[in-house]
Structures are given as structure tokens and as C-alpha cells.
Amino acid sequence: MKSKNNSDIDQEQIELLEYAQSRIKQKKNLYYHFVLFLFISIISLTLNHIFSISNNISFLSYSWSFWLIFSWFFLFLFHVFNVYVTNRFMSKSWVRKQKSNLIKLQKLKIENLKKEAEIESKIKAESEIFNKKSQLITIIVAAAENDVIGIDNKLIWHLSNDLKRFKELTKGHHVIMGRKTFESMPRALPNRTNIVITRKKDYLAENAIVTNSLSDAISISSEDSQPFIIGGGEIYKMALNISDRIELTRVHHNFDGDTYFPEIDAKIWRETNRIEKKKDDNHKYNYTFITYEKIK
């Protein structure tokens, strides 16, 4: 870089020197021209004068020297113009300078175009990542009227339709859960990719992938268009920010419990679907399937 700058300066200095030398030469030539012009003018006038006396010709016979001097004078004027106007503004070095300015401008344009292309490709790459990330991260939960979801690391109610819906929705997808929820189940959920989040570094979970953070769990499920967050309370709390949809089963009853689902903020979540169900022989409580979408 340093040597490039040095060579740039050297080149500039060489050009300046060359320009100064050529200007000196041009001015010297002009000076010689002027001297020659004076000399020839005097000689021609003298000769003209001598011949006119010897031939006894009228004053008009001076005309040849007059015309010579007159036309030469214009030649000289042209030379002056050439040196002080043409060569000054349109000399080779001037042309070179204009050229290098143009080249600099072109280089600048190319640089800008390159930068724009880089920015565009970056935006494209980011949007590709975004598109990849444009998974529908979905929370699935069953919560009581008072937001209770569990007690003593167990579920409280049994609603077969809710279980059926859970199976239908999550089948074939990634299911992401906290270590406690995983341990509350008899085994990993079949036909799904189970991901367990724990802070423990050496935790082993049968038929499940173990990770140490929610973001890692999302990365692992990046190929899944709709990974599900299936609980429990700690994980739901963390996942609300990054989720796009909530599939809630609202159980219309208040329960005692130790684990809660966070309040659903109506400013952030919009209800998009609601299916109300009445209690029956298999369902001890009224319940409603509600879908919320995050307001973008």
C-alpha cells in the first residue's frame, strides 16, 4: 500500500517535471521565433530599401517586405496563441490529466457499483437466511382459565381431543421442550424429532437431541417449516418472543398448580381461529381451541 502511494507520487512528480520541461522548450522556441522574426524583418526592410534606391522604384516597392513582415507577424501571433492557449490547455499532459481524471471517475463508479453489488448480495443472503428462518415457530399448550399448566411436574387434566389435536399438529415435526417436561413423559414422543433443552452439559436423553439453549434448538430444527415448542413453563416464557403462532387449548376451569403459561398480550397476538368444545363423557371440562398469530 505504502509503495503504491510512493509510486503514485513519483509518477505525479515525473509528469510535473515533464510538463515544466516542455513548457520551457515551447517558450524558448517562441523566443527564438521572435528574435528570428525581428532579424528577418530588419534585413528584409533594409534589402527592400537598398533595392528600391538602386532601382529608383517608388515607395510602393517596399510592399514585398511589408507583406512578408505582415504575414510573418500573424504566424508569430499564431505561435504565441499556440504556446499560451493551445499548449497550455490542450497539451499532451493536459489531455493525459483529463484522461486520468476520467479513469479515476470510472474507477470510483466501478468501486461504487461493486459496493452496491456487495450490499445487494448481502441483503439477498440475509433474506435467504431469513426465508430459511421463516419457519412458523409454534407454541402448543393447554392452559387453565387461570393460566395453570401443570403441578408437581405433571399435567393436571386429561382431554382426549386435546391429545388427539396435539398429535395431529405435531406429527413429523420437531418438538422442543424443557428438561423437566421431557422427564415428565414416559419416553420421547414417537414420530417426532424430540429436542430437550437443559443447562446440564452431559445430559443424556433417550431418543432425543439435547441442547443447551432455545436458539440452538431452533437452529437444529431449521429444516422444519413448523417446529413446535411444547413446554413447559420456563421454555414457553422464553419462546414467546421468537414464536409466530400459539395453538392454545383453553380449559375453562381454574386449577391449583405450580407452573403457568404467560399472559397472552393482545397487543402482540391476534386471535385467528376459535373452536369451542363442550364437556362430555370423555372431557370433564369445557375447552376451546384458539389459534393466535403474532402481529407483525
Ligand X SMILES: NC(=O)c1ccc[n+]([C@@H]2O[C@H](COP(=O)([O-])OP(=O)(O)OC[C@H]3O[C@@H](n4cnc5c(N)ncnc54)[C@H](OP(=O)(O)O)[C@@H]3O)[C@@H](O)[C@H]2O)c1
Residues that bind ligand X (CB under 6 A): 141-142, 149-150, 153-155, 177-181, 184, 197-200, 212-213, 230-235, 259
- State the minimum distance, in angstroms, from the CB of residue 151 to ligand X: 6
The smaller minimum CB distance to ligand X, of residues 69 and 229, is found at: 229
Q: What is the nearest approach in angstroms of ligand X to the Cβ of residue 157? A: 8
DSSP string, 247-259: EEEEESS----SE
DSSP bridge partners of 142: 249
Contacts of 208 (CB under 8 A, 6+ apart): 182, 188, 194, 195, 196
- Residue 227 or 233: which CB sits closer to ligand X? 233
CB of 216 to ligand X, least distance (A): 9
State how far the Cα of 24 lies from the Cα of 160, in Å rounded to an integer.
Answer: 104
In the complex, the smallest distance separating the C-beta of residue 152 from ligand X, rounded to whole angstroms, is 7
**What is the maximal distance between C-alpha atoms in the chain?**
152
Strand 245-251 and strand 228-229: the pairing is unpaired
Q: Are 141 and 249 in contact (CB under 8 A)?
A: yes
C-beta of 227 vs 231, nearer to ligand X: 231
Could you give the dihedral angle defined by the CA atoms of residues 67, 73, 76 and 82, in that order, rounded to the nearest 10 degrees?
Answer: -110
Nearest CB to ligand X, comparing residues 41 and 180: 180
The nearer residue to ligand X, 83 or 143, going by C-beta atoms, is 143
Tell me how far, at minimum, the Cβ of 141 lies from ligand X, in Å: 4
